[in-house]
Chains A and B, each alone.
Chain A
Amino acid sequence: MSSSANWEAVIGLEVHVQLHTQTKMFCGCINQYGGAANSQVCPVCLGMPGSLPVPNEEAIRKTILTGLMFGCRIAPVARFDRKNYFYPDMPKNYQISQFEDPLCAGGTVGLDPFLFPKDLQDMDEAKAKRSIRLTRIHLEEDVAKSFHYEERSGIDFNRAGTPLMEIVSEADLRTPGEAFAFLGSLRQVLLSGNVSSADMEKGQMRCDVNVSVRPVGQKEFGTKVELKNLNSISGVRRALVYEIARQIAAVEKGEAIQHETRRWDDEAGATFTMRTKEKAHDYRYFPEPDLLPVRTDQGLRAAAETDLPELPAALQDRLMKENGVTAYQASVLAADRALCAYYEKAAAGTKHKAAVANWILNDFLATQPDPSTTPVRPEYFGELATLVAEGGINSAQAKKVFAELMANPSSPKALVEKLGLAQISDAGALGVFCDEAIAANPRSVEDYRAGKSNAINALKGFVMKKSQGKANPTQVDEILKAKLSA
């Protein structure tokens, strides 16, 4: 019975998210990626003797906001603690974190089917729309960055003290696809609240994975392995696929899984032992005496509530119900707030809101635009959709208008004029074309009259050709029928 179907993986994630704030967590240094090494530092974030931390209210508010977005319980009184361990990238050799009284506890992350990898979206795991429980969300400070050269090492403290939110999930995830969707969902919500840019490749979102396997039906967890060096959401999926297979193969051979930390090597496509954990590290947590407890019930929570955005799930629901976009389109829009804002502006000017979604998500998105800076004004798409839907131009002409719109952005109505695409709807002019068509195609006329109704198409084609595609097809149809039956 050597089959992966007999085994189940149990996965829990710890996600670190750098908060998007003006300044660092406990000092006034600017919170910005980049800059010359050790240029964004002060006595506080360098841990100079005598310096003291002062909490960043914006970071606290954004953490509360994150908690509200995931439906967490917000602690009325939260506290900071010191987490003690020595490492050169940690200026004080303790990290100010939260241990006993984190800002947020509980909450859930929903797994939308469209957040699964494309190849899994039709599978049961995607359709299950599971909801993953969060254990907690707490706030802490980031450490510095070490650089190792041949003979020596260097430390850049610019990153030290960046506000860092740790989001811990329960061990509720069961598949690599779910982990992928979880991270995507997390990212979508964090972006919607403008809490973080949450880009894993830039280190703004970092993820540690705990994974174990157990026979299907068994309640107890297997021995867990921690995976590190996961630098993208798809990397998390690949690492889990590999690691779960490795663990299953091992236990099927009768080997015991080591309680260890393994490093994912994306190029090799495999995990390697980093360190084995003989016993858990003793961080000797204790309440940070330099900081007062944080009262969230005296204005901080209320301030965070005013920042609450429309959450991705609610947004998708609204777009589908009110604008008639597809579930897939709604999920794409919910994943990209800038694009969504662009779409909503475009859709505001027309009744044909689903058509606008098609234009923007199919044609416009293919040109890889930046919706916040593009010279193509969103109203143009509303106008384009109206033109097509209300018979101003046909779909082939619309494609031409779109191409012109990308090349020389201006009002589609003006472009139709400029390209000479306005439909001929004048009955007199169309009648002349129709008479010509009847005169020039006696065979087709005969066939039509004999009952072959399809024969009219040849006549229509003649009219379209004569009119250079500008004849209003509906009107042509009506006029031809009237003339032929006369």
Chain B
Amino acid sequence: MSLAHETLASLRRRLSAKEIHSRDIVKDLLTEIGTREKTVHAFTHIDEKAALAAAEKADSSLPLGGIPIALKDNLNALGDPCTCSSKILEGYRAPYDATAVARLRHAGAIFLGRTNMDEFAMGSSTENSALGVTRNPWDPTRIPGGSSGGSAAAVAGRLAIAALGSDTGGSIRQPAALCGCVGLKPTYGRISRYGLVAFASSLDQIGPLTRTVEDSAILLSALAGHDPRDNTTDLRKPETFLAKPTGSVKGLRVGLPKEYFLPGMNAETEAAIRSASQWFEKNGATLVEVSLPHTPSAIAVYYILATAEASANLARFDGVRYGRRALDPKDLMDLYQRTRSEGFGPEVKRRIILGTFVLSQGYTDAYYRKAQKVRGLLRQDFESAFTKCDLLLTPTSPEPAFPLGERTQDPLKMYLADVFTISTNLAGNGAISLPCGFTKSNLPIGLQLIGPRFGEEKMLQAAHAYEQAHDFWKRMPPV
């Protein structure tokens, strides 16, 4: 069997036993990429030579020695492109390693491929990429989700063993759900954001996309921990997650937030989630109905705060120091206007304008400040729910992967794709999406488990127990 089909955990065991060599994995992945990347288009950049050279030098005694990881194209890795799938970063090469990248490197990982994404992580389908759309390996007429669609499609399509993504409103979990892999968004502050090109600084988190929960825990253990370069990282000591899997959910109080189960929701999704919750109950967990009353405001709050922060974060792309610069500008204003008009795609422009508006004099109170207040209430919702339960169980996405092009003209409808994931970014909690079934037309359905802040261990234990009792994760996409 091609090594491309194995889990990270299994490859790690075989590498350290010297049964296989890193170059074997890279070669097998390149073979898979050679046959299917044309259809999936998960990557924006692949440097075969560099990956093979790194594999030759890999030290299999290290925790991730010789394991190839794909990186979302918004993570700086020294010397590599980092386009954020935007024309404005054409030709840019990262002058430094993101902390997450440096930590993986330090643990012995090698990097194979930069994955496609919605431009600057703004989108839920990876269709907002200036470098082409990515297709869902389960059905190439459908989107892979987004914005980390390239990472999800690569992992699900066996084009990568594991990948890093970033999640601002669901950008790891939703594509993981739609592509049938495991996507983890850690608690805000768990993983350093240093080197992740910022979309919305108070919401962004880096996280792994993997085939299994165990793989997710392995990468989280390597990535987590305080970073002196990121003031918002938490100070707690590093830990090894899922070091001793219990395989049990006995005694676990699983909360079902009533706002996440609404009449008219996708029937197949609802059925899969209900059946997952029944599994928990059957295996000794108690189900508790809880309420997150401010959920209906979450999308509005998100699109005010995320765009406000983005309007400032993206101001630096001005053609002065790096990336694309308009040719022969008449003057400074012309340089700014043309560089940015030519360099940014329509969704990015829409959000910069929205964010600029909500921060404008006379509107800050009505929008930005009010949204901040509601964000506080949303956080309280979660805090009070977690007094009644240990984990929340919800769908990751309201429906399975939708067809390419279906929502590109309707941004509001596109924004609703993140309705179940956005609140956790606003509250800062960690959450994981894992496969919990398939539709009749063989599209994956994702289950979301949300933990209390810094409650990843509990979340991973439950996810692992559920995953091992099922074989959804073993299914192969047809592409």
Contact = CB atoms under 8 A, between A and B. Distances in A.
B194 A51 contact: yes
Interface stretch (B223-231, B271-279, B295-303, B418-426): B223-231
- The contact size tier of chain A is 20 to 34
B89 interface: yes
A140 to B, nearest CB: 15
A93 B318 contact: yes
Contact of B361 (A48, A93, A282): A282
Interface in A261-299: 282, 284-286, 289-292
A49 B361 contact: no
A55 B230 CA distance: 10
B312 A94 contact: yes
A82 B311 CA distance: 11
B359 A284 contact: yes
Contact of A48 (B232, B322, B364): B322
A429 interface: no
B96 A48 contact: yes
Contact of B76 (A50, A54, A86, A93): A50
Interface string B76-100: 1000001010000100101110100
Contacts of B89: 49
B195 A51 contact: yes
Interface string B245-266: 0000000000000000000000
A94 B309 CA distance: 11
Interface in A81-98: 82, 84, 86, 88, 91-94
Nearest to A47: B316
B324 interface: no
Interface string A304-342: 000000000000000000000000000000000000000
Contacts of B356: 284
Interface in B299-317: 308-309, 311-312, 315-317
Contacts of A290: 198, 201, 230-232
A385 interface: no
B315 A86 contact: yes
A289 B359 CA distance: 14
Contacts, number: 99
Contacts of A88: 318, 320, 332
A291 B76 CA distance: 21
B197 interface: yes
A82 B360 contact: no
B312 A82 contact: yes
A52 interface: yes
B202 interface: yes
Nearest to B332: A88
A117 interface: no
Interface string A43-68: 10011111111110000000000000
Contacts of B231: 52-55, 290-292
A232 B230 CA distance: 39
Contact of A49 (B197, B200, B232): B197
Residue among B232, B308, B320 with the highest chain A CB neighbour number at 10 A: B320
Contacts of A284: 311-312, 356, 359-361, 364
A43 B309 contact: no
Contacts of A92: 312, 315-316
B138 interface: no
B312 A50 contact: no
Contact of B359 (A43, A55, A86, A286): A286
A49 B318 contact: no
Contacts of A55: 231
Contacts of A47: 316, 321
Interface string B316-344: 11101110000000001000100000000
Contacts of B75: 50
Contacts of B312: 82, 84, 92-94, 284, 286
A290 B202 CA distance: 7
A111 to B, nearest CB: 36
A48 B95 CA distance: 8
B332 A50 contact: no
A50 B195 contact: yes
Contact of A50 (B194, B228, B321, B368): B194
Nearest to A155: B320
Nearest to B335: A88
B9 to A, nearest CB: 29
Residue among A50, A55, A82 with the highest chain B CB neighbour number at 10 A: A50
B107 to A, nearest CB: 20
Nearest to A55: B231
A292 B235 CA distance: 13
Contacts of A285: 359
B332 A91 contact: no
Contact of A86 (B84, B98, B232, B318): B318
B196 interface: yes
A282 B360 contact: yes
A48 B322 CA distance: 8
A84 B92 CA distance: 24
Nearest to B192: A52
B96 A43 contact: yes
B193 interface: yes
Given A282-B360, A290-B201, A49 B321 contact: no
A47 B321 CA distance: 9
Contact of A54 (B196, B228, B359): B228
Contacts of A46: 321
Contacts of B320: 88, 155
Interface in A7-56: 43, 46-55
A50 B315 contact: no
Contacts of A93: 312, 315-316, 318
A234 B94 CA distance: 48
Contacts of B84: 49
B321 A91 contact: yes
A50 B232 contact: no
Nearest to A84: B312
Given A92-B316, A289-B202, A43 B95 contact: yes
7 contacts: A50-B94, A50-B196, A55-B231, A86-B315, A284-B311, A286-B308, A291-B232
**What are the 4 tightest A-B residue pairs by CB atom distance, in nearest-first order?**
A93-B315, A289-B202, A284-B359, A289-B201
Interface of B: 74-76, 82, 84, 89, 92, 94-96, 98, 193-198, 200-202, 228-232, 308-309, 311-312, 315-318, 320-322, 332, 336, 356, 359-361, 364, 368
Given A286-B364, A289-B232, 14 more contacts: A43-B96, A46-B321, A47-B321, A49-B89, A49-B198, A49-B322, A50-B76, A50-B82, A50-B98, A52-B229, A86-B318, A88-B318, A286-B308, A290-B231
